[in-house]
Amino acid sequence: MKKNLSYHHGNLKQDLVQLALDKLKEGIQPGALSIRALANELGVSPGAPYRHFNDSKALIAHLATLGFLELTSRMDPQGDFSKMGQAYVSFAIENPQWYQTMYYLPRQELDVYTELFAASYQAYQELTNGVSRLQKQKKSEMIPPSLAAFAAWGYVHGLAQLAIQKLSFPVNLTEPRVLEILSQVMLTGL
């Protein structure tokens, strides 16, 4: 029996986003998200989602934007700087596919998806503000905060990737104490 597909849906955009996030949690790769398949699962016509997202890349960009906003909300630049790094790695471990989605689109496409660029830049700014605050506390402003923040971002991004790909053996990156120690290594050097 053929489904009665409707073009109208209560809040289709929100439902598409939630279903896509659910698919990511199930382990679907960002590139495998299909607007048509999502529409079918929601019981709407294949064309209905295109009122909200021009294509799959636009959906991925929206999911990535939400990911950066969520990540930024977990980082407290006024608190302990090492906790920011721990929040970053923890977010990636808790949401591996969503995290991968945040970095799925090539850098040059951020010019097209300005909301994604703004959200990712906001996360970087929070980190930079945290570095600046830490440098003032330590009275050590030899390295420009933006460069120190970039190094910190690279460090936690690497840890997050190792954890997601399960390459962190023999270190268990899901242990809060381990993340705390690694954060201290980043702050003090070897």
Burial class (CB in 10 A: 0-12, 13-18, 19+), 10: exposed
Q: Domains in the chain, start-ordered, CATH in brackets? A: 1-53 (no CATH), 55-188 (1.10.357.10)
The predicted structure's pLDDT at residue 95: 95
Band the pLDDT of 9: cuts 50, 70, 90: low
pLDDT of 108 higher than 60: yes
* Range among 16-20, 106-110, 184-188 rated most confident: 16-20
What are the tens digits of pLDDT across the range 48-97?
999 999 999 999 999 999 999 999 999 886 778 888 888 999 999 999 99
What is the C-alpha separation between 102 and 99, in angstroms, rounded? Answer: 5
Residue 170 pLDDT greater than 90, yes or no:
no
The dihedral through the CA atoms of 58, 46, 48, 12 has a sign that is negative
Q: Is 162 exposed, middle or buried (0-12, 13-18, 19+ CB in 10 A)?
A: middle
Give pLDDT tens digits for 15-54: 999 999 999 999 999 999 999 999 999 999 999 999 999 9
CA 86 to chain CA centroid, Å, is: 14
Q: Using one digit for the tens of pLDDT, what is the confidence trace for 129-143?
A: 888 888 888 777 678
Residue 7 has pLDDT above 70, yes or no: no
Mean pLDDT for the chain overall: 87
